[in-house]
Amino acid sequence: MTDLEVDVLVIGWGKGGKTLAGAMGRKGRTVALVEQSTAMYGGSCINIACVPTKDLVHSASARREHDDPQTYFAGALAGRDSLTDKLRARNRAMLAEVDAVTLIDGRARFIGTHEVEVTGGTDTLAIRADHIIINTGTEPARPAFPIESARLHDSTTIQHVDPLPERLVVIGGGYVGLEFAQMFAKFGSQVTVLDHGVEFMRREDREVAATVRALLEESGVQIVLDADVRGVRDRAESAIVEARVGEENREFEADAVLVAIGRRAVTGELDLDAAGVAQDERGFVRVDERLRTSARHIFAVGDVNGGPQFTFISLDDNRIVLDQLDGEGARSTDDRVAVPYTVFLTPPLARVGISEHEARALGRRVLVTSKAVADIAAMPRPKIVGETHGLITVLIDADSDLILGATVFSIDAQEVINLIALAMRHDITASDLRDGIWTHPSSTEALNEVLAALRPL
């Protein structure tokens, strides 16, 4: 028996799902939004991911040498929690104000192609919907090595570690691991990163990777490459991480251990088979270029569909599905061009397009320019704010003068990269950016100088 019938059912309160629910509700469609955790209203971004972690990054960077690490860290956590509480409440209010949207607390599972059962405590609710949106996101991946430790954390629990660890071992040298590594080093921890790879930041150009590593080491982070972690166990007052480093067995002692080895889809309790929804070999929901699953009335948006795991991609997923449900149905993931990303180190590392080593493989005539931030005379802002680390690299097609890719490792990188990405999407040339009139002092005006020094790749 069906207890509730709606036009659209959204499972999970992530960026794409909540935006879609609000848009459809304001258009007069009946919508139900189901979330299993009251602590996750608004989605991962505002509660445990983008916003709270960047708030902590900012707090860590603002700590002065004479600030007591433990006291300062406790204050930073209080500020983080206050911020997320406000954002969570506001996110809930924004949807609660839409009459056509029904908010439901509970765990959802499919019981048919159009039917979902939601369980909350001892209560159950059967919902039927014409269209269903899976928006359940991801969670930290679990390591395969044995764990006998109460000091192990993932990227969520480490945000409330108590007390601040004097020694932190980070397992994983990816972007998340490096953000937390530098953050905790700036809070006052001794940090060691155990990276399974033999090459640091292998996806980045070597000059960029070397510059980032130098910054991290200057911040107090020790990087250990070719580290194959075999297990984590507790001693009386610490944890021991056992690893094979090259040809040597080593032990690393820590007060806390962060495992940052990737994320996995949250689909285990959905019973997707009951709805005929297929998953890939990694457990992510399979979708086509319009985000339809193998059941055409069911869509998957956000991290759960296996695409790039960024909030802004989830927001664009919402646009694609909205176009399917209430538009021309033409929009797709194929429309995405020059999608940038930022790693929020201090300063941030942002990139868009191809890298130098990818450009070499293209066999095209390519020009490159690269300059250390400290040496860019036309960019005084880093000197003003006291953060001159980093470099800016831009790749240009020698025949068309169009930008192929860029790396901005600098203060304000998360903003400058958006301008470069916009130029790439609209065929604005490198010369246009080079000769642009930018405000002063700003980070954007670095383009005047950096793009004036091109050389063949």
Distance CA 236, CA 389 (A): 40
Residues in the chain, overall count: 457
Q: Catalytic: which of 153, 297, 389, 440? A: 440
Contact between 5 and 129 (Cβ < 8 Å): yes
Distance separating alpha carbons of residues 281 and 15, to the nearest angstrom: 25
CA distance 123 to 129: 20
440 part of the active site: yes
Q: Are 32 and 127 in contact (CB under 8 A)?
A: yes
Given a contact cutoff of 8 angstroms between Cβ atoms, the answer to whether 285 and 132 are in contact is no
Distances (CA, A) of 134 to 77, 270, 280, 330, 334: 32, 9, 15, 21, 21
3-class secondary structure, 208: helix
CA-wise closest residue to 259 among 221, 229, 282: 229
CB 340 within 8 A of CB 421: yes
Name the burial class of residue 110, with classes exposed (0-12), middle (13-18) and buried (19+) by CB atoms within 10 angstroms of its CB: buried
Query: Any idea which residues carry the catalytic annotation?
Result: 440
